[in-house]
Amino acid sequence: MGERPPKGRARYRDPANPFNTWGGRGKRPDWLRKYLDNGRALTEFEISED
């Protein structure tokens, strides 16, 4: 069984790797936790509605 695409719309994106996204539900992914642990804000990774 392979990986499945995430359900719902992505709300946050990794600036270093745009394939890393998170919908804002469930456990925060490792890539996002590393940024937040280094003092970055969650709002920096929000995907704009535009």
pLDDT score at 49: 75
What amino acid occupies position 36?
A: L
Please give the DSSP secondary-structure letter assigned to residue 12: E
pLDDT score at 38: 97
Which burial class, exposed, middle or buried, applies to 12 when counting CB atoms under 10 A from its CB (0-12, 13-18, 19+)?
buried
Please give the DSSP secondary-structure letter assigned to residue 18: T
pLDDT score at 50: 65
pLDDT score at 5: 64
- For the segment 1-50, what is each residue's pLDDT rounded down to a tens digit? 556 666 778 999 999 999 999 999 999 999 999 999 999 999 999 998 76
- Which tokens is 47 given? 């995907």
Work out the number of other CB atoms within 10 angstroms of the CB of residue 30. Answer: 9
Q: Please give the Cα distance from 46 to 12 (Å, whole number).
A: 4
pTM of the model as a whole: 0.78
